[in-house]
A and B are shown apart, each in its own frame.
Chain A
């Protein structure tokens, strides 16, 4: 009787100790992902806004096209420190700083350029005659865009989605300005880094890496296969 009791006792102590050891890392991870939960939203919205803008740029008015393209892509080159400061300054009076909505809007403007660039490249490589054929067979322009153009530029859409996701997931400095209590994974890891380089940081970093890599791989694989299936 006591044999099993002691075994049980030791076992439970051991598992408690193990939980004690693992808990901080798990909490760090879980916390960072709950914040990322919201942040999976900007990439999707950025994909819609960016794709619409890329099509508009590609097909739309010639007037101001070059200036507009430059303006729409410029957040890629602009130092994020400057943009982060500026957005913080504007969000502060309207109490948008340190809110998830604020993060979301700020991340959106960082993600959209990547979508515009990748989708724009796909649009330029696309065979226009297919779309013209659809239109000449009686499809309306929106219909041709939806049924012909969008499936054809699928690789560009997926590439844009991947880049937008990574940009948002990995964004540091803009969020750093905006955040005081709400955080994202990079900021969590960074603030624990300021004290000491702990092995748990490396572990969490490793996990983050695996998650990002797996997600990208999955997206690229699915997109690539779907893309070839459509073309073939």
Chain B
């Protein structure tokens, strides 16, 4: 908006120096962007293009072939692992919604000090090392871990509950970190709601639940969609937590890809699976941004 206004439009002195300034004005911003663009070109876009190219040349074959992509659907195991990864991501997203939305609601109502404390707690898993976090969960959820010991001492269970090395354990571990990615967008969407809208609904006789269902929830929907998309997409690419907390009992697509590269040296197949993952994620992101836009439009049409 104000980007032109920030440039001195009348100060250019005449002569060679003036030319230099004009050049700087026109291309200077590109100069600021240049290091980042160069870095990305070399370490981001080039590797990804090579990845796509490799995926079309199954293990050293010279001519193009879709065999690797074919394998994704027909080798009998990859597709089911992919679907299980999707399921895991759905579980995590659902858990984040169930635990995160009420937390965001609470943070909206809370006073500034409490809000700061809650915000710090929500962000704290992001500031902790992945490995440290997972080791801590191993100590909490293990057979002899805190939860099982407490439950057994309370006499509620006889044998230890299987809390670790299954989907449950992985969902707990992943939800722990990615909760922040849901809470923050939902919180900011909730903050943007004018409280008088809710008061108006309440004064017209709506019960508290109706106010929530008909006013608060719809108006925070953009945040909900943004947050759950982020959580879902990030979970699709998660590697370390399933490895540590799932043992060998939970397999995700990123684990398959890592295994293909590091132990089977079949880079082109792993590349094809990676491209499939990227395509899937991009589709989700596009769908979600469409949905958000539509919600924005609907809000715009409201008086």
Contact = CB atoms under 8 A, between A and B. Distances in A.
Q: Chain A interface: which size bin?
A: 35 or more
Contacts of A8: none
- Determine chain A's interface SS by DSSP, over half rule: helix
Interface string B256-290: 01100110000100110010011001000100000
Nearest to B25: A141
A79 B254 contact: yes
B47 A83 contact: yes
A171 B126 CA distance: 12
Interface in A19-71: 48-50, 52-53, 55-62, 68, 71
Interface string B211-222: 000000000000
Contacts of B254: 79, 81, 173
Given A141-B8, A205-B135, A88 B261 contact: yes
A112 B5 contact: no
B127 A216 contact: yes
Given A61-B30, A90-B50, A201-B135, A80 B237 contact: yes
Contacts of A176: 258
B278 A82 contact: yes
A60 B43 contact: no
Contacts of B285: 77
- Determine chain B's interface SS by DSSP, over half rule: helix
A81 B237 contact: yes
Contact of A85 (B31, B40, B51): B51
Contacts, number: 190
A86 interface: yes
B5 A82 contact: no
Nearest to B233: A77
A141 B239 CA distance: 45
Contacts of B270: 85
Interface in B102-118: none
B54 A193 contact: no
Interface in B21-39: 24-25, 28-33, 35-37, 39
B203 interface: no
9 contacts: A52-B35, A61-B30, A68-B33, A81-B239, A82-B237, A85-B261, A90-B46, A116-B36, A135-B8
Interface of B: 2-3, 5-8, 11, 24-25, 28-33, 35-37, 39-40, 42-44, 46-48, 50-51, 54, 126-132, 135-136, 138-139, 142, 230, 233-234, 236-237, 239-240, 244, 254, 257-258, 261-262, 267, 270-271, 274, 277-278, 281, 285
